[in-house]
Structure 1
Amino acid sequence: MAVRKRLVALAATGAVLLAGAALTATTSTMASAAGGPTTLPASQYTLTSDYHKYDTLDSALVSKLGTASVDTVMKNANHTRTGITDSLGIAGYQTGFRFDSGDNSDCTNYPQGITSSRDAIGTANSGNYDGHQLILVSWYTKAGCGGSQARSRITLVDWDATWPNKYRKILLVEPAGTASTPNFTDIPIHAGGVSWYGDYLYVADTGHGMRVFNMKKILKTDTSGSSSEIGRQSDGTYHAHNYAYVLPQVGTITSHTTSGTSLVWSTISLDRVSRSIVMTEYTCASCTNYPQRSPRAVRFPFASGATTFAATTTATQALHLPWYNLNGVGSHNGRWWFNSSGAKKLYYWTPSTGSHTYNWVGGGESLSYWEDASGPDLLWSLQEPTGHRNVFAVTQATYGP
C-alpha cells in the first residue's frame, strides 16, 4: 500500500515526530463535565443547490482555454513536499509531510481544509483518481502579510510511491463576463473546509454554505503576465496571478435555517458511509471577530445514489456542541470528531458512548477520514501556523473505537 511505502520513505525525517507520537493519549469522559452534544431539530436546517449557475460561462471558458486533467496537472507538479521534522506529541501518528520552505513560511497564504481522493472514490484502486492517490488542501490568500482575504486556492499533493513527492497549486476562480467574452475573477473566501466527492469539490463559504467545483474542468492559463493580473487581458490571453491552472466554480449550495441564527460554515467533511457532508461552526466564549456562542454541527445528505445534493435538502442530524474554537469536524459510521485549535484537543463523540477528549496539535485545522481496505483507517489533519505547516495522519482507532 502506498501509505506504508511513504512511512519507509519518511522514516529518517520523521524520527523526531515518531518519538513524540509514542506518547499515550490523554482521555477523559466529557459527557458529565461539559454535558456533551445535544440534539437540535434537524428540520430547521436546509440547503438549496444550483449546479448549473455558471454553465454558459464555464462552457465558453473551456472553449477559450481548454481543460487539463488531474493527471496532466500532477505530471507538471512543480513543488516538492518534504518529511515532517516537528515533534507533534500526539498518539497514533502514522505518516505525513510538510510543504516546501516557501509555502511553509508564507505569511500571505494559509492552509485550511483537507480532503483526498479516498473521499472522492473510496478505497477502489487504492483511492486513485485519474491515476493518482492525492491529498487536497484548500488555502486562503491575504493581500499582503496581515492584509484582508484576497483569493483562495487548492493544492493537489501526490501521495503514492509510484509518483514523485510533488504538489501543484490551482487557483479557485468565479466565472464572469459573457458567453462571447467569458472571464473569471478571484474568490476571496476563507476556504475553511473542503470535501471531494466523485468529480465535485465542495468548498465551505463561511456565511453562505458551499461553492461547488468540478475536478474535470481545470483550465489552462497564460503564465507570462505579472502576479497581479487576473482574468482576460487586452490581448485576449487569460492570466491568473501566474498560476498555470485555475478551477472555475460551477455552482452554489446555499444554507437556510428557521432556527433564527444562520449557520457559520467554518469547516466541512465528507462521511462516505452515510453519504453526507457534515459541517460545524467556529465560535468562541469571548472574542470580537467571531460569534460569541456555542457552536452547532449539522449533517446534510446527498441525493440518493448521487454525488450531488437535491434541489432542496433537509438535514438529517443537528447537534448543539459544548466546545469552542472548532476548526475541524469529521464523521464516519455514526461517530464524530471535533478539533479545537484553541484548546489543542480532539473531541470524540457518539450518542451511545458519550464524549472523550484527546490531546491534539496546536493550530490544528480541518479533518478528513481516510478509509483503508487493507490497513487501519486514518484521520488526516493539518496545521496552519507559519513554519509548522504539517499535514499528518493518525490511526482513527486511537481516537475512538
Structure 2
Amino acid sequence: MSLRRRCTRAAVAAGILAGLLVAPAAARAAAGPGALPASQYTLTADYHQFDTVNAALVSALGTAAVHTVMDNANHDRTALPSTFSVAGLSGGFRFDSGDNSDCANYPQGITTSRDAVGTANGGNYDGHQLVLVSWYTKDGCDGDQARSRITLVDWDATYPNKYRKVLLVEPTGTAAAPDFKDIPIHAGGVSWYGDYLYVADTGHGMRVFDMRKILKTDTGGTADQIGRQSPTVYYAHNYAYVLPQVGTITSKTTSGTNLAWSSISLDRVSKSIVMTEYTCQSGCTAYPNRAPRAIRYPFASTGVFAATTTASQALQLPWYNLNGVASHNGRWWFNSSGQKKLYYWTPSAGPATYSWVSSGESISYWEDDTAADLLWTLQEGVGNRNVFAVEQAAYDG
C-alpha cells in the first residue's frame, strides 16, 4: 500500500473518531467570473536565454539528477498534527521543526511530479513521486526578499520521508568565467511540466528552469557567500545544489493594466498554465486595489510555449486576496487567503463557496488513475505549515 493511501486511511479514521471530517457545505454565490477578451493577453518565450553561461556552469560544476538529489535528501518531513482537519482530507505532511517555524523563509507555490509526467509510471519523475514547493527568503525575519528556493519532497512509501532544498539562481558572467546570483522573487506559484519548471515572477511573467540541469555546488563557505569564488569553487549560501534559470516567459497585455503573476497552476487536460492575481477590494498599499483576473495560456504541441502565445481564456473575477488557482477539465478553483474561502466555478454550473484554511497558498491538481483525484495545497503561516491534499470531489460544487 502506498504511503499516501496509508495516510488517507489514517486521516479518515481520525476524522471519524473525532467527528471532524464532514462533507463541506457549498454556498452558491449570485455572480461568478465574467469573460474578458483573451486576445489582449500574450506571452513571449525564450528558453535559451542563458544557454552559453549555463553550458559553462555545467562544465565547471557538473549536474545532479533528481534521483541523486533525493538520494542525498537531508531533511525529515513529519506528519500532519492530529488536530488538523479539513473536509475531504487525503493526507499530507509538515516540514521539519526548523522550517515550520522559520520566520525568514515562506512556502508559496506547489506542484508535483503528477504535473510533470501525469499518471505514467505511478507519477514518478526520475524514479520518485515528488511534491515540489517554492519558497521565498527574506533578509532576516523583517527584511526584504533576498532569494528563492524549492524543496523536493518524496511522497512515496518506497523512499524515506525526506526532502531536499535547492536554491534557485540566475546565471551571470561569461563562458570563460561563468557565475550565478540569487533570484529575489516571491515565487508565489510554480508549475512543473515535462522537464521544465515554471516559477511565477510577480510583475513580469514566469522564470523557466530545467530539472535536468541541477548543479552541484560547494558547501563550507559562509551563509552569505553566493557564486564563483575561484574557477573551481562555487558557493550558494551553503546549499549543495542550485537550479539555474534557463529562460524567461514575459507577459504582455493590451488591456491597459499589467498582470500581477501571483500564482500559477498546470492544467494537464487542456495542456496549459493558468494564472491569477492577488488584489484587494480596497485599502491595500502593497497590492493592487482592483478586481483580479485569471488567464489561461496554452502550450504548443511541442509541450513548451511558442515564441509568442495568445491566451485561450481570460476571466474577470469577483473574489479578492487570491493566493491559489487550479483548473482541470473546464473546472476552476480559487483560494482566498484573506477570506479563508475556496471558490469553485464552471461556466455551466456557476460559482460555489467553501470554508477553507487560513494562510492558504497555491493549489495543484493531482490526477490518479486508481483513486480519487486530489487538490494539493499548503499553508504559509509560521508554525502552521501544513502541506496537504483533499479529494477534489469534495469541492466541485
- 2:203 paired with 1:203: no
Pick one of 281, 285, 288 that aligns with 2:285: 288
Judged with a 3 Å threshold, the aligned counterparts in structure 2 of structure 1 residues 252 and 364 are, in CA distance, closer, same or farther, namely: same
Cα shift at 1:24: 3.1
Cα shift at 1:26: 2.3
Counterpart CA distance in 2 for 1:215 and 1:86 is 35
Judged with a 3 Å threshold, the aligned counterparts in structure 2 of structure 1 residues 268 and 17 are, in CA distance, closer, same or farther, namely: farther
Aligned positions of 1:370-381 closer than 5 A: 370-381=366-377
1:79 is matched with which residue? Answer: 75
The range that moved more, 226-235 or 179-188, is 226-235
Gaps (5+ residues) in structure 2?
none
Judged with a 3 Å threshold, the aligned counterparts in structure 2 of structure 1 residues 136 and 6 are, in CA distance, closer, same or farther, namely: farther
Q: Secondary structure at the match of 1:153?
A: strand
Contact 2:77 2:95 in 1 (8 A): yes
Contact 1:173 1:247 in 2 (8 A): yes
- 2:136 paired with 1:140: yes
1:224 is matched with which residue? Answer: 220
Cα shift at 1:264: 0.3
1:23 is matched with which residue? Answer: 22
Aligned positions of 1:177-188 closer than 5 A: 177-188=173-184
2:300 is matched with which residue? Answer: 303
Aligned positions of 1:110-259 closer than 5 A: 110-234=106-230, 236-259=232-255
Q: Secondary structure at the match of 2:167?
A: strand
Counterpart CA distance in 2 for 1:296 and 1:315 is 12
Contact 2:170 2:182 in 1 (8 A): yes
Pick one of 236, 244, 265 that aligns with 2:261: 265
Pick one of 385, 391, 396 that aligns with 1:389: 385
Q: Deviations over 1:299-326 (max 9, x none)?
A: 000001x221000000000000000000
Judged with a 3 Å threshold, the aligned counterparts in structure 2 of structure 1 residues 391 and 180 are, in CA distance, closer, same or farther, namely: same
TM-score, normalised on structure 1?
Answer: 0.96
1:7 is matched with which residue? Answer: 7
Q: Deviations over 1:79-135 (max 9, x none)?
A: 000001063442101100000000000000000000000000000111000000000
Contact 2:11 2:91 in 1 (8 A): no
The residue type paired with residue 268 of structure 2 is R
Judged with a 3 Å threshold, the aligned counterparts in structure 2 of structure 1 residues 61 and 14 are, in CA distance, closer, same or farther, namely: farther
Cα shift at 1:235: 6.5
2:43 is matched with which residue? Answer: 47
Judged with a 3 Å threshold, the aligned counterparts in structure 2 of structure 1 residues 19 and 58 are, in CA distance, closer, same or farther, namely: farther
How many corresponding residue pairs? 396
Counterpart CA distance in 2 for 1:130 and 1:121 is 10
Cα shift at 1:12: 8.3
Contact 2:78 2:96 in 1 (8 A): yes
Contact 1:378 1:395 in 2 (8 A): yes
Counterpart CA distance in 2 for 1:199 and 1:20 is 43
Contact 2:42 2:251 in 1 (8 A): yes
TM-score, normalised on structure 2?
Answer: 0.97
